[in-house]
Amino acid sequence: MKTILILIITALAAQPSAWAQSDQYKQAMKQAITTMQSRNEQSPIADMQTSANQFERIASAEPKEWLPRYYAGLNYVYLGFMGKDEAAKDKYLDQADVNLKAAETIAPDNDELAVLKAYIAQARMVVDPMNRWQQYGPLFQAGIDKAKSLNPNNPRPYALEGSSLMYTPDQFGGGPTTACPVLKQAVEKFATFKPTSDLSPLWGQKQIEPLMAKCK
């Protein structure tokens, strides 16, 4: 009986520290997300790198959480579009892949990570479209299709696919005629989508707003 009481007391004493760790994680994530969303337009590369570093530090402290790795990877994708040359862009995207793979070991078959995988493939392709579309085009579509199958209500695969189609020349199957139906699906899904938590990804809606002007 005495042993049982000691175990109960020990368990109860341990709970506040566990709660504190969870609260600390949420607070750190909210701050990092705010930092990511409020980056300075005058120094976007430096700010995105700072944001990626911030999420990677959280990931190191919370190795069982996939979201810090996801957001770090997302920042590196943005950096991959902005690098000064092909080598710099690929280096950022290598880091995006590192974070994606780490997140996938924590949360396999996750629709948001499937979208991120497609996003990385798209960024790789954009670095050198003529020489890379055959390799990364199918990987992009595979990520989009997987995300849709895992969560048909997620608007982000539709937003990413529609955006890609809008910037694809008509002769290659893109343009407004092909893109607009997909973008409209994204808009409809954004209207009803409910994130699982206040740390969940929310990007995509603002990015497609300018493109919707071409769909009227």
Are 113 and 165 contained in the same domain? Answer: no
Are 126 and 210 contained in the same domain? Answer: no
Q: Is residue 134 part of a domain?
A: yes
**Per-residue pLDDT at 42:** 64
Are 116 and 50 contained in the same domain? Answer: yes
What average pLDDT values come out for the chain (216 residues) when binned by 10 residues? 42 39 90 87 85 97 97 98 95 98 98 98 96 96 98 98 94 92 97 94 95 90
**Per-residue pLDDT at 7:** 39
Please state, in angstroms and rounded to a whole number, the distance separating the CA atoms of residues 13 and 9: 6
Are 170 and 212 contained in the same domain? Answer: yes
**Per-residue pLDDT at 15:** 40
Q: Is residue 123 part of a domain?
A: yes
Q: Is residue 79 part of a domain?
A: yes
Q: What share of the chain is helix, strand, coil (3-state, %, to 5)?
A: 80, 0, 20
**Per-residue pLDDT at 100:** 98
Q: Which residues contact 128 (CB under 8 A, 6 or more apart)?
A: 86
Please state, in angstroms and rounded to a whole number, the distance separating the CA atoms of residues 51 and 154: 25
Domain around 157 = 153-194+203-216
Task: State the DSSP code for 110.
Answer: -
Q: Is residue 13 part of a domain?
A: no
What sign results for the dihedral spanned by CA atoms 103, 107, 110, 112? negative
Integer CA distances (angstroms), 158 to 57, 86, 184, in order:
31, 27, 9
Are 116 and 59 contained in the same domain? Answer: yes
Are 120 and 178 contained in the same domain? Answer: no
Helices (H), the chain: 2-37, 44-61, 67-82, 86-106, 111-127, 129-150, 156-166, 176-192, 205-212
Q: Is residue 124 part of a domain?
A: yes
Task: Count the domains in the chain.
Answer: 2
**Per-residue pLDDT at 40:** 63
Please state, in angstroms and rounded to a whole number, the distance separating the CA atoms of residues 3 and 93: 54
Are 168 and 216 contained in the same domain? Answer: yes
Residue of 63, 67, 56, 60 lying closest to 26 (CA atoms): 67
**Per-residue pLDDT at 5:** 39
**Per-residue pLDDT at 12:** 36
**Per-residue pLDDT at 90:** 97
Are 188 and 117 contained in the same domain? Answer: no
pLDDT tens by residue, 51-74: 999 999 999 999 999 999 999 999
Percent of the chain with pLDDT over 70: 89
Q: Is residue 165 part of a domain?
A: yes
Q: Is residue 96 part of a domain?
A: yes
